[in-house]
Structure 1
């Protein structure tokens, strides 16, 4: 009998469709730094954020992305000069990445403390995911490997009746890259197949650069936060592309 497969899943864009909540939290946090922004997030800004979501790796970047959108930057311009534009905002606001991470987390915490139901409603799971993970947990071992803070992952999983031990959630709090987490999982499960499902092509390309991770099967989640260009390039790079209908029961 073959060894069971070990599953490692990214969270945002694979399990959870968090784009709207991330946009609103980013807008709220940006308003604390720049007082000229309205309190309520305009619906068109949320839609534009969804379009640029593929470029964002970690949640706190939504603060900068929403500010750029408010200032009138087009989605194309943000895609083209994202690093330069965000670095310029950091310098102008005189804030560090660590300060933005803290502000973003605290803004989420405040929303959760005051209206957990609406926060959960803005973080729906993709169709069929809850049932898949509930079933998977009975028979196989799975992990979350994410740049999201772990307490937020736990809130969302619990709200969807999904049980996952704390030690199987690798989030921002651990200060480990996804490469480092996967290296650790290979050591934890020697001789077993490790599959990593991720929706961000740059993340998969980065993992692919590490020869010590050659045994990890890399799967590209096409339903997540990626572009048509990403999908084409994923095929060219030889990644296995999964559609949501392939993934869920």
Structure 2
């Protein structure tokens, strides 16, 4: 029996945290210029460093902007507009992001679509002005590019990243061309719906179905859908997740916690 792999992008194929953090900082300075008047390069470097720590909470790219601003408010009490920033720690963000996010969106009177558009525009501008430095702020995990190139399985990308950015990185950084109709990016619907779509296509009948993700919450959403019981589920332990999440995943019978070396072998 042949295999179909639905692959998340950020945290499974590509470590994009460097690029997404820098893009979020640029976008945050455009969105909230007054707040950054009190920051300096040391403060901005601290924010970028912390973004690598809190990255596991991000589901969709625009949340990086919220995290940049929240980190700034944690450090500079005088600019706080959020009711949750006082006394908030990095650990607190990691533990409670799903509860914090709607509160700060309301406190700051922000609009999700507007933040998505701004984040996309900042990335597009960087990509157009200086493709090599944009590409260079990303890296594919070791062995991934070859695994994709020589895969015998049928591959789909299922990501909350905007599809054009995933496509550019696959082509320019990994040297891999995946047809655009096999890249399901932001705006194509929740991942559970994409998986339902993929399994319903006549040409996929009889294929073994595999979904590789680095977010435990996403895998748990799949488990809640009885019609997706046919998918084998994997949590990539090299991606944007925490030790606590990896331990929880290991206790769930449906989920296989996957090593990077084993992942590359599976695709071949």
- TM-score class normalised by the smaller sequence: over 0.9
Taking the aligned partners of 1:219 and 1:132, their CA distance within structure 2 comes to 17
Contact kept, 8 Å, 1:234 with 1:241, in 2: the verdict is: yes
- With normalisation by structure 2, the TM-score equals 0.87
Aligned with 2:100 (options 85, 92, 100): 85
Q: How many residues align?
A: 244
Cα deviation 1:33-53 (Å, max 9, x = unaligned): 211225868332222111111
Structure 1 residues 39, 33: closer, same or farther in 2, change over 3 A? Answer: farther
Aligned with 2:109 (options 78, 83, 94): 94
Contact kept, 8 Å, 1:31 with 1:39, in 2: the verdict is: no
CA shift, 1:171, in A, is: 0.5
Structure 1 residues 111, 5: closer, same or farther in 2, change over 3 A? Answer: same
Indicate the RMSD between aligned Cα atoms, in angstroms.
1.5
Cα deviation 1:146-170 (Å, max 9, x = unaligned): 0000000011001121010000000
1:47 aligns with 2:49: yes
Taking the aligned partners of 2:258 and 2:231, their CA distance within structure 1 comes to 16
Alignment of 1:90-169 (within 5 A): 90-136=105-151, 139-159=152-172, 160-169=174-183
- Give the SS at the match of 1:13: coil
- Give the SS at the match of 2:210: strand
Alignment of 1:70-81 (within 5 A): 70-72=72-74, 73-81=88-96
Contact kept, 8 Å, 1:5 with 1:140, in 2: the verdict is: yes
Taking the aligned partners of 2:96 and 2:264, their CA distance within structure 1 comes to 36
1:243 aligns with 2:259: yes
- Give the SS at the match of 1:163: coil
Question: Which structure 1 residue ranges, 4+ long, deviate > 4 Å from structure 2?
Answer: 38-41
CA shift, 1:84, in A, is: 4.2
Taking the aligned partners of 1:245 and 1:212, their CA distance within structure 2 comes to 30
Q: Which runs of 5+ in 2 are unaligned?
A: 75-87
